[in-house]
Amino acid sequence: MPVRTLTLRELNRATLARQLLLRRHRLSATQAVERVSGLQGQWSPSPYIGLWARVDGFHPRALDRALLTRRVLKATLMRLTVHLVSRADYASFTSAFDGGRATKLPQLTLEFAERHGEAARGRFRGAALSRTEIYAWLAEARGVDTRPEALPPLSWEALRIRGRIAHTPDSALWAARRMRFAPVDDGLVEPATGRVTLVRRYLAAFGPATRADIARWSGVRVRDLESAIAALEPLRRFRDESGRELLDLPRAPRPHGDVSAPVRLLPRFDNLLLSHDDRRRVIADEHRAAVIQGGEVTATFLVDGFVAGLWWFAGTRVRLEPFATLPRAARRELAEEASRLEAFANTAGSSR
C-alpha cells in the first residue's frame, strides 16, 4: 500500500491542531499543559502567555493555582531547558532521561551528577535553596571545586535531573524574581516506560514527526528512542515532501492543509518553534535567524499558521514587527489580538 505524502501545509495544520492553536479550547491549566507536552519557562511570563493563546477564557490565577498546589511543576527537562509540565508527566519525562544517561550529556557531567545528585537531593529536604546555596554546600561538605572553570559543562542542569530537583512554586509565577529549588518526591517509573510516555506525548502534541524530530525536542538520542517507538506500534506512517518517514499516533488529528488558522501571538521560547528538527512546518528558513539567536528565542506571531513577524512589550503596549507587508484583514486581526494580550498582561501584572 503506498505511503501517503503530507504537504508542508498539512504538517503545519496538524501541529497547530495539537498545539491548541487552530482554536482556543476550554481546558484547565493542567490539562492544557499536558496536551501540549509542556511549556518552556525560561522567561517566567512565557507559560502564561502560551496558555492565553491556547485556552478559552484563561486567567493567570488558573496557572498560579496549578503551580502552588504542585499539579504543575517547573523543572529542567527536555533539551536540558526549563519546562512547565504536569506532575504526572514530570515523573515519566525525568525517568525517560535515566538520570541523564539517555541524553547527550558529556561523560564528565554524568559522573558529576551521579556522584552528587542524591546527596544534593537530600540537602534540599526541609529547605528551599538557591543554586548559589547548593553550590556553597557542595564546596564545603563534599569538597567540590565549584569555580565555573572547574565544573563540567551543564553540571547544574544534570544535577537537577539526577536529583529530581524542581523549582519551588513561587519561582515559576509570572513575576518570579528569585529562583529557589526543592526535591520532587513522586516515585520514578522505569526508564523504558518513561520513554514510551515521552514519545507518545510528543507525537500527540507535535506529530506527525520523524525520529530526528522526537530526538530534537526531547534531547534523548535516537537509539534510545527505538524501543519506545516499537512499543507504541501500530503507528501510522507517512512521508514528508522530502521523502522522510513520519510517525504518528493512529487517531491523532490531521486537518486538511486548507483549514483556516487564526492569528496568534506566541511568547518567547514557545515550543511550537523549537520541537522539530525541520522547523519549516512553522517558520521559513529565511526568518529563523531573526527569531532564534543562540539561546534566545524571540516572541513571534502567526499569520495563516506560519511565523510572520515579531512582537514585544513596550511598557504596557504590544508592538508588532511583521517580516513583510501583511493583508489588511491580517493586520486588523493582529491589532485585535495584540489589544487582548495587553489586557491579559495587565490582569496578570495587577493580580500580584
Beta carbons of 36 and 20 less than 8 angstroms apart: yes
Taking the C-alpha atoms of residue 52 and residue 290, their distance in angstroms, rounded to an integer, is 24
Q: What is the pLDDT along the chain (352 residues), one digit of tens a residue?
A: 689 999 999 999 999 999 999 999 999 999 999 999 999 999 999 999 999 999 999 999 999 999 999 999 999 999 999 999 999 999 999 999 999 999 989 999 999 999 999 998 888 877 899 999 999 999 999 999 999 999 999 999 999 999 999 999 999 999 988 899 999 987 788 999 999 999 999 999 999 999 999 999 999 999 999 999 999 999 999 999 999 999 999 999 999 999 999 999 999 999 999 999 999 999 999 999 999 998 899 999 999 999 999 999 999 999 999 999 999 999 999 999 999 999 999 998 765 4
Identity of the amino acid at 330: A
Cell 486537518, residue located: 255
Rounded alpha-carbon distances, angstroms, from residue 338 to 14, 299, 301, 319, 349: 25, 12, 10, 8, 16
Cell of 121: 537531593
Distance, in Å, from the CA atom of 144 to the CA atom of 18, rounded to the nearest integer, reads 45
Residue 16 identity: L
Task: Identify which of 228, 252, 336 has the alpha carbon closest to the alpha carbon of residue 13.
Answer: 252
Question: What pLDDT score was predicted for residue 351?
Answer: 54
Burial of 186 (0-12, 13-18, 19+ CB in 10 A): middle
Interhelix angle 328-350/60-68, nearest 10 degrees: 50
User: Of 239, 242, 241, which Cα lies nearest the Cα of 208?
Assistant: 239
Give the separation between CA 245 and CA 278, rounded to whole angstroms: 13
Sequence spans of domains, the chain: 264-350
pLDDT attached to residue 350:
62
288: cell is 529563523
Q: Which of 307, 255, 299 is nearest to 281 (CA)?
A: 307
Enter the C-alpha cell of residue 190.
522505569
pLDDT of residue 203: 98
Cβ(267)–Cβ(301) below 8 Å: no
The strand ranges marked E within 285-338 are 292-293, 296-297, 300-303, 306-314, 317-322
Phi and psi at residue 330, in whole multiples of 5°? Answer: -65, -40
- pLDDT the model gives residue 253: 96
Distances 185 to 38, 46, 69 between C-alpha atoms, Å: 20, 26, 14
What is the spatial distance between Cα 314 and Cα 295, in angstroms, rounded to a whole number?
22
Beta carbons within 8 Å of 114's beta carbon, 6+ residues apart: 99, 162
Q: Are 89 and 151 in contact (CB under 8 A)?
A: no
Residue 315: predicted pLDDT:
94
β-sheet bridge partners, residue 236: 248
Write down the pTM of the prediction: 0.95
Cell triple for 55: 485556552
**From CA 40, how far away is CA 81, in angstroms rounded?**
7
Beta strands in the chain (DSSP E): 39-40, 72-76, 82-86, 165-167, 181-183, 236-239, 245-248, 264-266, 292-293, 296-297, 300-303, 306-314, 317-322
